[in-house]
Amino acid sequence: MTRFGLQCRAALAAGLLGPTMAMASTVGDSFDDGRTDATLWTVQTEGGPTIRETGGSCTVEVPATSSGSIFYARYVSVPMFVGDFDAKVDYALDLWPAGNGLRVGLSIEDADSGMACERTNFGPGLQEVYLADFGAYTLWFPTSDTSGSLRWVRTGENVAAYCLQNGEWTLIGGSHGSGGPVRLTLWVWSHDGNFGHQDARILFDDFFVQDSASHRRIAPETETVRTGKVRSGTLQDLADDDDSSQILAKFLVPNMSAPIVRVDLTYRSDLLQPKALSSVIRMRHKNAGSYVLRTFQFDYPAQSFVETMSGRPTQAAYGNFIAPCQGVLSRFVRQDDGQTGVRFEIAVTGLASAQLPAFEFEFADQFVAE
C-alpha cells in the first residue's frame, strides 16, 4: 500500500464510510505484487495509454501522442457484482500537467450502459473537478485534490458516487440504475477534442468491493478433449511437456484434416440460483495462423449446449475471454448437485501454419454469483 492509500484506511478506522449494509463477500486488490491478477482483471487499452502494476500501485501512463475519438487504459473486473455493493479505489495524480483533459474513473458497466465516478480535468484552460457521469446527465464540483478515493455504493436500484475529501466521504451525486449484474472498471481516458497532448501518469491503489452477494470461482472438475476425429482424452493426455504449473493445458490442434478442438468441462457449485454466471478462459496461441474461440454453456432442462460467445479471434499473448450466460441462469445449473457444463471450441479460420498450432491455457474457470 502506497502513502496515498493510507487516507482511506484512516477513514475506515474513524467509521466514516457512510452507508453500510450486510455483506456476504469481499473482492479486492492491493496491487502490491507487481503483476495483473488475471482472475480479477481484464486489461484493455486503446490509442496510446498503458496500464501495469509497479511500485505497489496500478500505474496508467498516458503519452502526449495518445489520440482517438476515445483512448484509454483500463482494468475491467472479471467477476460480475449482482447485489448491493460498496466499491472504492484510491488514486494519485502522479504526473498531472495543467489542462491535460484526462478523466480518471471508477465505473459501473453493464451490457448496455455505464456510469463513472471521476476525478477529471475538462481540458486546456478548463476546470478540475470531481464528477459523476450517469449517462443522461452529469454532476460535478471543483477540486484541487491530487490524491484521494473514488467510491460507488449501490443499494437496490439506487447508486451513489462519492469522493474522499479531508478524511470524509462527500457525495458527488446519485441516480437510479438497473440493479442488475455489473462489472467495475478502473481507467483513465480522454478524447481528441479534450486532450492537452502532455505526458501524464496516474496511480490506482487499494481497490476493494464489499458485496451482499456470494461469489465463487470454480476450477474444472472433469474435462474431455476431442480434436476432430483424430484423438480424444483429457487435457493432460493431450498436453505437451511443460514445466509451468500455471498452465492448465497445452495441446496441438490438427489444422488440416480436422481444423477444430473441442473441450468439455464440468464444474460444481453450491449456488443453485445464480444471478451471474460466466465462463472465463485465459489462453494464447503459440504459432502463426488465424484461429477463433467459441464457448457454450449446458442447458440442463433442454439437454443441449447454448452458445455464450461466438467466434472471438485468439491472441499470441495471453488474454481473457469472458462469456457471460443470459436468460434464466438456473437452467445452466443442475439442481440436484450444482453441476455446470462448459464447452469451448477452437477452429482455424485462415491459412494454417506449417507446424501444428499449440494453445496454452492458464485457466478455464466458472464464475458464479448469487
Report the relative pairing of strands 222-227 and 231-233 from DSSP bridges.
Answer: antiparallel
The reported pLDDT for the residue numbered 248 is 54
**Average pLDDT in the 16-40 region?**
77
For cell 490506482, the residue is 204
The reported pLDDT for the residue numbered 225 is 72
The reported pLDDT for the residue numbered 263 is 86
Report the relative pairing of strands 249-252 and 291-299 from DSSP bridges.
Answer: unpaired
Q: What is the pLDDT of residues 184-195, one digit of tens each?
A: 999 999 999 999
- The yes-or-no verdict on residue 23 having pLDDT over 80 is no
Q: What is the pLDDT of residues 334-368, one digit of tens each?
A: 999 999 999 998 887 766 544 555 778 888 899 99
The reported pLDDT for the residue numbered 9 is 32
The reported pLDDT for the residue numbered 161 is 97
Q: Which residues of 16-52 are buried (b: 16+ CB within 10 A; e: fewer)?
A: ebeeeeeeebebebbbeeeebebebbbbeeebbbebe
Distance CA 24, CA 72 (A): 33
pLDDT band at residue 313, thresholds of 50, 70 and 90?
A: very high
- The yes-or-no verdict on residue 239 having pLDDT over 60 is no
Distance CA 365, CA 102 (A): 35
The reported pLDDT for the residue numbered 346 is 86
Q: What is the pLDDT of residues 258-288, one digit of tens each?
A: 557 788 999 999 999 999 999 999 988 877 7
Query: Phi/psi at 331 (nearest 5 deg)?
Result: -65, -25
* CA dihedral (296, 278, 110, 302) positive or negative: positive
Short-list 5, 51, 44, CA closest to 28:
5
CA atoms within 13 A on the CB side of 35: 3
**Average pLDDT in the 51-72 region?**
97
- Of 105-109, 111-115, 250-254, the range with the highest mean pLDDT is 105-109
The reported pLDDT for the residue numbered 326 is 94
Q: What is the pLDDT of residues 137-177, one digit of tens each?
A: 999 999 999 999 999 999 999 999 999 998 999 999 999 87
For cell 490442434, the residue is 253
Short-list 72, 89, 84, 69, CA closest to 28:
89
Higher pLDDT, residue 6 or 291? 291
Short-list 189, 190, 184, CA closest to 73:
189
The reported pLDDT for the residue numbered 261 is 79
Q: What is the pLDDT of residues 217-227, one digit of tens each?
A: 998 888 777 66
The reported pLDDT for the residue numbered 237 is 53
Cell numbers placing 28: 479486492
Distance CA 82, CA 170 (A): 25
Distance CA 149, CA 207 (A): 10
- Rounded to the nearest 10°, the torsion over CA 281, 286, 290, 293 is -10
The reported pLDDT for the residue numbered 112 is 75
